[in-house]
Amino acid sequence: MADESQSRKLATIVALDVAGYSARIEADEERTTAEVAALRQVIEGTAERRGGRVFNMAGDGFMLEFGSSLSAVEAAFELADECDPKVRVGVHLGDVVVQPNGDLLGHGVNVAARLMARSEPGSVLVSADVHRTIRGPIAKRLVSRGTIQLDKMSETIEAFGVGSSPSATIVSPPTGDEPVLAVLPFDNLSDDREMQFFSDGVSEEIIQRLSRGSQIKVIGRTSSFQFRGADKTAKKVAAELRCSHILDGSVRRAGGRVRIAAHLVEAASQTTLWSDRYDRGLEDFFAVQDDISEHIAGALDQTFTSFSTKASDPAVYDLYLRASPVSLAPDEVRTNVGLLEVATQRAPEFAEAWGRLAFLRAWVRLYQPFTERAASARLVEREAQHALALDSRNVDALVARLFVTPPYGRFTEVEKVVDQLRGVPGSIDGHMYAGWGARSVGWLRDSVEESERAFLLDSLNPLCANLTALARMAAGDAEAAVPIFEDLIERVPDMSYAIANLLRAKAFVEDWEGVDRLLDSAAQRPLREFQDGLAFIRTKRDPTPENIAGIRDALASHYEKTGCVDVSRLVYAAHLGLVDEAYSTAEDACLGPRGTADDIMGPDGYRTGLLFHAGMPELRNDPRFVRLCARLGLVEFWLATEKWPDCADEVPYDFKAECENARSTPVDEFSF
């Protein structure tokens, strides 16, 4: 007969113990016992706040029960981050036996304990059963650690831990021989809120100096500046940014003087390698930045060359910091251009301000009518040239030149600028735009590799994240692109690219419920130049003869009205079965803009990347594709570089022979 005093239920179990407990107790029993007693209060308090309870304790081990898997995982990560001494944590959802005294036994408890035993100090392992039941930001942080064999158990289990978004092609994290530094925004400890700009400026100057003068890899500002206040725990920063070292500090102003404290921490051991304090008159503020940068470089034993062209006027430097791009929405960028115009007028030798001005003006230009772009391009070139005369490796200025290069016909020029970006020590932009450029010429594998490398070092940079997700989607892995776009929508709601690209990704994975939710959301968000893509998504979902006829009529109507066609329209039409109609239209159409109100705006207007989208091969599978590419200057580029697009080995005809036959095809002029 079954024991009626026992019952079974499903519960999420969190198992944790103190890392290195035996060695600690042997070295100092009294101190370790006191630490564990204090730890007990922390664990019980965390469990209670999250709706759980501690049901068993033994020595340094604790077992917690939660009715919610999400609450359990949140508690687990909180404890892993905050407990001192460090703990190991395992989380599992499973069947348990309830004892009369409230204790829990059974397989669910055993699995949680085995996961804990395989976890590292200060980290968490979560079972696949738990992972499947949770949603939201914390679920996005979890990546598979593979299938592991649990101690003293015959079964294997897939475990998850904190990491970047999953991808089969993601670049490995840095090794111990390849240090990666995250420079966090220094804390403003003054009552003066304006000092926050100075505090950020300290960190930004360090990033710039190290990127130029040191061989160490430095996480991009956009990602590292996401961590402020309570988020600045070494464990959390290292896990999310995948860095080996962290620089943090604080700025305190008292009257006309400023005190800056800085410290360098090795993330794995959380050991402080170097620290220093600087007391200066506020007029020497920028000299303090130089001192800090020099000392950090020495502490890391890296080659470092002094370099600085910043403004001497703190008010001008404030303008520069305020003009940092966030969403790259047109209105935001136009405002920032105005700030930088003032900054460069007041400080003509401020190279960084000139470079950022050129970059942002080049971005605004993408939303201007084509009839206005030539004049704007001349301004961009003048500002970029000014920045490069002061600093030949100014990344923003180089990217600005990249943006004003026509979207087709001059791929060799694009490659030269990308090579210059690659040559800037520590430049993440080199990898980011190398991936962008590779996608436009059909090198999809290279595009993913370069984009992922940049994403590894700057995963919270919205532009970097967007380009990485686009590279994944273009290579045929739309599913891996979805979580990046979703995270972007949550973090940067004013960025229109993310929601438009997520709509397309959802369509390719046939998540039509997700598409409906996004369409509802899109009604309140500006899709701008992506609005035309909605007809394609609706027809892909419901490819009735009537809907396909609508796409055919829209293609013909646009050509009849403007005499031009964007390659994206051709790709979409061919994907929906209108291959002949697409090529018939392309044969006589201008492949670029006409300077009319119907011209395609935005950063993707008339660009060639969509031609090589792995999920839309219909246009490529027709031999007429090669002549189209020749008109765009792609064939000329492939023949010159002798590096073929990935599709060369995938199409049902001799791609290289067709390219040779099309060698003399004239390249269409992109005149704006």
Distance CA 336, CA 60 (A): 55
Per-residue model confidence (pLDDT) at position 123: 85
pLDDT at 303: 29
Span of 12-21, 191-200, 394-403, 529-538 with lowest mean pLDDT: 191-200
- For residues 7 and 272, the model is more confident at 7
**Residue 191, token pair as written in the block:** 């009552």
Residues 6+ apart with CB under 8 A from 126: 73, 76, 90, 91, 92, 115, 142, 159, 160, 161
Q: Provide the pLDDT for residue 286.
A: 67
State how far the Cα of 18 lies from the Cα of 122, in Å rounded to an integer: 9
Least confident of 151-165, 479-493, 596-610: 151-165
- What average pLDDT score do residues 617-633 get? 98
Is the pLDDT score of 274 beyond 90?
no
Confidence of residue 172 (pLDDT cuts 50, 70, 90): very low
Structure tokens, 313: 């006027």
Cβ contacts of 187 within 8 Å, gap of 6 or more:
199, 228, 229, 232, 248, 249, 250, 251
Residues in a beta bridge with 257: 254, 281
CB distance 267 to 238 below 8 Å: yes
5: pLDDT confidence band, cut at 50, 70 and 90?
Answer: very low
The string over 623-637, giving b where at least 16 C-beta atoms fall within 10 Å of a residue's C-beta and e elsewhere, is bbbbbbbbbbbbbbb
Cα–Cα distance measured from residue 159 to residue 164, given in angstroms and rounded to the nearest whole number: 15
Question: Is the pLDDT assigned to residue 528 strictly greater than 70?
Answer: no
Residue of 617 and 597 predicted with greater confidence: 617
- Structure tokens, 212: 């130029």
Question: What percentage of the chain carries pLDDT values higher than 70?
Answer: 86
- Confidence at residue 31, expressed as pLDDT on a 0 to 100 scale: 83
**Lowest model confidence (mean pLDDT) among 80-89, 367-376, 630-639:** 80-89
Which of 225, 451, 265 minimizes the C-alpha distance to 443?
451
**β-strand 61-66 against 52-58: which pairing, if any?**
antiparallel
Indicate whether 205 pLDDT > 60. Answer: yes
Per-residue confidence at 529, pLDDT binned at 50, 70, 90? low
Average pLDDT, rounded, for the chain:
84
85: cis peptide before it, omega within 30°?
A: yes
CA-to-CA distance for 159 and 141, rounded, in angstroms?
Answer: 13
Q: Which of 194-208, 295-309, 331-345, 580-594 has the lowest mean pLDDT?
A: 295-309
496-508 vs 478-491: helix axis angle to the nearest 10?
A: 150
Buried-state track 170-185, b at ≥16 Cβ within 10 A, e below 16: bbeeeeeeebbbbbbb
Task: Tell me the mean pLDDT in the region 123-144.
Answer: 81
Under a CB-based contact definition with an 8 Å cutoff, are residues 124 and 143 in contact? no
Check residue 529 and report its DSSP letter: G
Which tokens in the block code for residue 437?
């450029």
Q: Domains along the chain?
A: 7-162 (3.30.70.1230), 180-306 (3.40.50.10070), 405-661 (1.25.40.10)
| C-beta neighbour count of 37 within 10 angstroms | 9
Give the residue-averaged pLDDT of 321-346. Answer: 90
Instruction: Kindly list the distances between the CA atom of residue 660 and the CA atoms of 401, 626, 627, in Å, as whole numbers in the listed order.
Output: 31, 10, 10
Give the confidence band of 3 by pLDDT, cuts at 50, 70, 90.
very low
